[in-house]
Amino acid sequence: MLPSQRKPVCTRRFPRVETDALAEVKIFGDRRKLKIAWIKVLGAGGCMLVCDDSIGFLSLMELKIDLGGRELRADGRVAWESRCGPGEHHVGIEFLRIGQSDQARIAALVAGSASAGSTA
Confidence of residue 10 (pLDDT cuts 50, 70, 90): low
Question: 112 burial class (0-12, 13-18, 19+ CB within 10 angstroms)?
Answer: exposed
Summarize pLDDT for 76-103 with one digit per residue, the tens.
Answer: 999 999 999 888 999 999 999 999 999 9
**CA 43 to CA 18: how far, in whole Å?**
9
Summarize pLDDT for 38-54 with one digit per residue, the tens.
Answer: 999 999 899 999 999 88
Output the CA–CA distances (angstroms, integers) from residue 119 to 6, 20, 25, in the order listed.
15, 14, 25
Confidence of residue 119 (pLDDT cuts 50, 70, 90): very low
CA Rg, the chain, in Å?
15
Q: Which domains does the chain have, with CATH numbers?
A: 13-111 (2.40.10.220)
